[in-house]
Structure 1
Amino acid sequence: MATFKNIQSLGALEGKRVLVRADLNVPMKADHEGDMTVTDDTRIRSVAPTLKALSEQGAKVIVMSHFGRPKGQTVPEMSLEPLGQPLANITGLPVLFINDCIGAEVAETIDGMENGAVLLLENVRFYPGEEDNDPEFARALAQNGDVFVNDAFSCCHRAHASTEGIAHLLPSAAGLALEAELKALENALGNPQHPVAAVVGGAKVSTKLDVLTHLVEKVDHLIIGGGMANTFLAAQGVDVGKSLCEHDLADTARDILARAEAAGCTVHLPTDVVVAKEFKAHADNRTVALDDVAQNEMILDVGPASVAKLAEQLKSCKTLIWNGPMGAFEIEPFDAATVTLAKAAGALTEAGSLLSVAGGGDTVAALNHAGVAEQFSHISTAGGAFLEWMEGKELPGVKVLKQ
């Protein structure tokens, strides 16, 4: 197992300038006064323990982040200034904001900081050098600090100046949230307890080809749900009616099934499904066997008999990785399979028999919807980084922190 440098490895931090890469790219909307307010503060909460720990050690805490896609231009609506107050509220620390991230004025402000104080820098993506991982821009950022702490797993799949470039220039470490994330991921796929199950759902096989190809070599049970299950069913000769399905990927689906068989991985596809003639909440629906899907019907969820079998299968597993919903969970009653299986996984985790790690955009929403997010061992708020980890790729922002 690779070991990662953590905050403890940096030694005494009293009076040191610590540059922290956070991910403050949080959803916001305008309130009735026109002020921007945060609608989901999960990412701010995740970096708060690191900022507090550094402040308690007497460090000058300097926070870097991106926001939106300004493409190397200064875009006032993408300023980080509105995030200063939410950051202060959640950390319980006063947060000062400065409207740049490099240069003399930033250096002067940092010099004047008291130990334990927090400074939020302006959006690093206002400079084209950030996404280009330009060595000059990385050097300009590094001049603001004595050490670098990365606490933004969701940005680690990108080799940008503030995630990867800077780590070559300063003593660097993983923050508390990143350290917890890396440990959870190592336990789930790097060095897991077998049997290992993976739930992979979502609309399209094409977006998760690399995930599926990697997982069949790593897990004992691959549970496929969502629209992508239809592509696998169609590839095996099932008539899926007017369901979402990538018929052009039939050969690819058969190839993945053959690889799974060769690797000793059991692939679980639905044996019964919930169908409807239209995609809308509470549409007339029926539960049918696979050979009973009508031409004018679409599969919108995995059927109850399949879910009961899967829940039973999880009882024999030690580790679970979950990415994507089992059906059209955003509209009732086609959320039933996702909710039922998630509750089964949550209960097994709480009972101590299952280590469960979940991540990816829709996954967090689906598990929150099922009311089991708190029960899972670890939930990653990262989208792209979590998927690339599931694909077996080395993440640049993590690789650079290895001992």
Structure 2
Amino acid sequence: VNDAFGASHRAHASIVGVSQYLPAVAGFLLEKEVDTLTSILEKPERPFVAVLGGSKVSDKIGVIDKLLDVVDALLIGGGMAFTFLKAKGYEVGSSLLEEDKIDFCLQVIKKAEQKDIALYLPSDVVVAQEISPDAEAMVVSVSAIPQGWMGLDIGPDTILVYQGVIKSAKTVFWNGPMGVFEIDQFSRGTEEIAKAIAQSDAVSIVGGGDSIAALKKFHLEDKISFISTGGGASLELIEGKPLPGVEALMSK
């Protein structure tokens, strides 16, 4: 019985090999993971809003591509937002930046426009000169990030806008924090977005280790419709990649 959805994107002997020699079936958790994640891609209740954060655009390229085929709105936060902001011509100071992903971000912005998808980027951010609990922090517009300062959370204006979009949603998929939530002064964006998702009437699906850690930190995990146990596996399933662990059972 394979009930390890979180490892089903890996072609390991314990995941794939065993099923070649023994009768093999999916466990209830694996079945629920695949059914839930597939259903939001195939027949989501609309409006369908995706909230993506985390540090790198490169970790989410396939997911962003796929979500642009199904969502009504895409909210971007976390470190990855700064590559999008740079693509739009903003100076981002010392914020996390993937220069080699600027072209991809431009393509995403263009595709969203063509498909009439609302793509939201932060309008203000919390900046500091170092990632530290003792760092001096301030809120600035994304058009006024000082040299040598880095964006470490979304700002209050952005939080308000994102809360409004989430409130109007019928389905919400969230993967990736809005900032460095492990440090209290950079945690408000992630906390407020997590609360908005928890309090909304939408079907809410949350995946990724950091997002789940944030839900636990803010004691919100029992208010989410479905928490995916597979970080990498849930992203790969959404991308449309075959999961070796699931494929091995399909051939049974």
The TM-score normalised by the length of structure 1 is 0.60
In the superposition, relative to structure 1, how do residues 371 and 282 fare at CA in structure 2: closer, same or farther (>3 Å)? farther
Q: Does the alignment pair 1:393 with 2:241? A: yes
Alignment pair present for 1:258 and 2:106: no
Question: Hey, what's the Cα distance between the residues in 2 that align with 1:234 and 1:215?
Answer: 22
Contact 1:217-1:260 within 8 A present in 2 as well: no
Alpha-carbon distance in structure 2 between the residues aligned to 1:192 and 1:164:
30
CA-CA distance at 1:169 after TM superposition? 4.1
Name the residue aligned to 2:87: 235
1:323 maps to amino acid:
N
Alignment of 1:344-355 (within 5 A): 344-348=196-200, 353-355=201-203
Partners of 1:195 and 1:168 in 2: CA distance: 42
After superposing the two structures, state which structure 1 stretch, 380-389 or 186-195, moved more: 186-195
TM-score by length of 2: 0.93
Is 2:38–2:238's contact at 8 Å kept on the other side of the alignment? no
Alpha-carbon offset, residue 382 of structure 1:
1.5
- Equivalent residue of 2:163, what SS? helix
Instruction: Report the aligned-residue RMSD.
Output: 1.6
For 2:205, what is the secondary structure of its paired residue? strand
Asked if the contact 1:188–1:355 (Cα under 8 Å) also holds between the matched residues in 2, the reply is: no
Alignment of 1:284-295 (within 5 A): 284-295=136-147
Is 1:215 aligned to residue 67 of structure 2? Answer: yes
Deviation, structure 1 residue 168: 4.2
Work out which of the residue numbers 105, 112, 132 in structure 2 matches 1:280.
132
After TM superposition, the structure 1 = structure 2 runs for residues 166-181 of structure 1, keeping only pairs within 5 Å, are 166-181=18-33
Q: Counterparts of 1:214 and 1:283 in 2: how far apart (Å)?
A: 38
2:95 maps to a residue whose letter is S
Quick check: 1:151 aligned with 2:25? no
Report the CA distance between 1:164 and its aligned residue.
Answer: 2.4
State the distance in 2 between where 1:245 and 1:262 align: 26
TM superposition shift of 1:383:
2.1
Q: Kindly indicate whether the alpha-carbon contact (under 8 Å) linking 2:63 and 2:235 is maintained by their aligned counterparts in 1.
A: yes
Partner letter of residue 152 of structure 2?
L
Mapped partners of 2:134, 2:39: distance in 1:
40
Deviation at 1:172, TM superposition (A): 2.7
Instruction: Give the letter aligned to residue 242 of structure 1.
Output: S
What's the counterpart of residue 376 of structure 1? 224
Q: How far apart are 1:217 and its partner, in Å?
A: 1.4
* Code of the aligned partner of 2:147: Q
Query: Residue in 1 aligned with 2:99?
Result: 247
What amino acid does structure 2 have at the position aligned with 1:372? L
Work out the CA distance in 2 between the residues paired with 1:393 and 1:387: 9
> In structure 1, what residue type is equivalent to 2:238?
M
Where 1:267 maps in the other structure, the secondary structure is strand
Larger radius of gyration: 1
The whole-number CA distance in structure 1 between the counterparts of 2:182 and 2:34 is 30
* Structure with the higher helix share, 1 or 2: 2
C-alpha deviations, 1:120-166, integer Å up to 9, x for none? xxxxxxxxxxxxxxxxxxxxxxxxxxxxx111001111223332233
Q: Which has the higher contact order (CA 8 A, sep 6+)?
A: 2
Tell me, yes or no, if the aligned pair for 2:208 and 2:230 is still in contact at 8 Å.
yes
Instruction: Report what 1:107 is aligned to.
Output: none
Matching residue within 211, 215, 218 for 1:363: 211
Partners of 1:235 and 1:247 within 8 A in 2: no
Percent of pairs with identical residues: 46
Unmatched runs of 5 consecutive residues or more in structure 2: none
1:195 aligns with 2:47: yes
1:271 Cα deviation after fit: 0.7
**Alignment-derived partner of residue 142 in structure 1:** none
